[in-house]
Structure 1
Amino acid sequence: MPMAADEIEAMIRAGIPDATVAITDLAGDGDHYAARVVSPSFAGMPKVKQHRAVYDALGGKMGGVLHALQLTTAVS
């Protein structure tokens, strides 16, 4: 069962409370998304750690229930 965009956003916000999150359904199938996550907590982190923080917030859903996520992160 695919994940809804609002569920992805809620999970990221729960894991990174100060984040601004924008989710886009890339294929209209509820299975391929893009996420832009901007957070002051990313300051001083390399991109790999920023992405890992987002994946951690998704609680292991990536690669299973959530098939594809094009991820962009930035410091606000």
Structure 2
Amino acid sequence: MPMTANEIETLLRESFPEAQITIGGSDGVHMSAMVVDESFRGKNRVQQQRAVYAALKGKMDGSNGELHALALTTRAPD
């Protein structure tokens, strides 16, 4: 079952309550997300993206995941 942008944002907000989060895409399977959060400061891009994937709580896991593809941009605030 595809995920809505609101469902994705809700999951991300649980781990990143103060983040600036922008979700794009409309098919619920191939989506994009930009997450800007202070917790990313000092972390490399891989560490940042792993934190976001962990926040999705398995929704992208394997061929049975609800979310097939997520184009992800992460960074600390300017």
TM-score (norm 1): 0.92
Q: CA deviation at 1:68?
A: 0.5
Give unmatched runs, 5+ long, in structure 1: none
Give the structure 2 partner of residue 67 of structure 1.
68
Q: Percent identity?
A: 53
Q: Which amino acid counterpart does residue 73 of structure 1 have in structure 2?
A: T
Give me the whole-angstrom Cα distance separating, in 2, the residues matched to 1:67 and 1:2.
9
Match of 2:31 in 1: 33
The amino acid of 1:38's aligned partner reads V
How many matched pairs? 74
Unmatched 5+ stretches in structure 2: none
Task: Return the alpha-carbon distance in structure 2 between the equivalents of residues 30 and 61 of structure 1.
Answer: 12
Equivalence for 1:44: 42
Please report how far the alpha carbon of residue 43 of structure 1 lies from its aligned counterpart in structure 2 after TM superposition.
Answer: 0.4
Q: Report the TM-score, using the length of structure 2 for normalisation.
A: 0.89
Q: Which residue of 2 aligns with 1:56?
A: 54
2:4 corresponds to:
4
Runs of 4+ with deviation above 3 angstroms? none
Structure 2 counterpart SS, 1:30:
coil
Give the superposed CA RMSD: 0.9
